[in-house]
Amino acid sequence: MAVKLRLMRMGKKKQPTYRVVAADSRSPRNGRFIETLGTYTPRDEPSGVVLDNERALDWLRKGAQPTERVQRILEGTGTWAQFKGAQFKDSGSERGVAS
């Protein structure tokens, strides 16, 4: 099963809020999901993000692919850099390169 980290639209008409969820890539946008990771409110100034960074990092390590918008949210919270840093350290240690 291919897992994606993506946004699920909530809120009233013309007043969107989104949930950041881990979902099967084949399920519809507002359909079944595996786990809720946080919320994103784009209408606030600045945009409001509440995210469980540890769970998001866990899903990324398991191979979940974020959508473009979720990747930007993860970059803003620092989770994406943490994931890339850990991934870089792991790949360096496999080749015998000292850190």
18-43 confidence digits (pLDDT tens): 999 999 988 888 888 899 999 999 99
* pLDDT value, residue 47: 84
Examine residue 88 and state whether it is found in any structural domain, yes or no: yes
User: What do you get for the CA distance between the two ends of the chain, in Å?
Assistant: 34
**What pLDDT digit, counting tens, does each position of 45-65 carry?**
888 999 999 999 999 999 999
Full domain range(s) for residue 32: 3-93
3-state percent breakdown (helix, strand, coil) of the chain, nearest 5: 35, 35, 30
Q: What is the number of domains present in the chain?
A: 1
Whole-prediction pTM value?
0.79
Examine residue 52 and state whether it is found in any structural domain, yes or no: yes
Q: Is the pLDDT confidence value at 95 over 70?
A: no
Examine residue 99 and state whether it is found in any structural domain, yes or no: no
Whichever domain contains 53, its CATH number is 3.30.1320.10
Paired tokens of 90: 């792991």
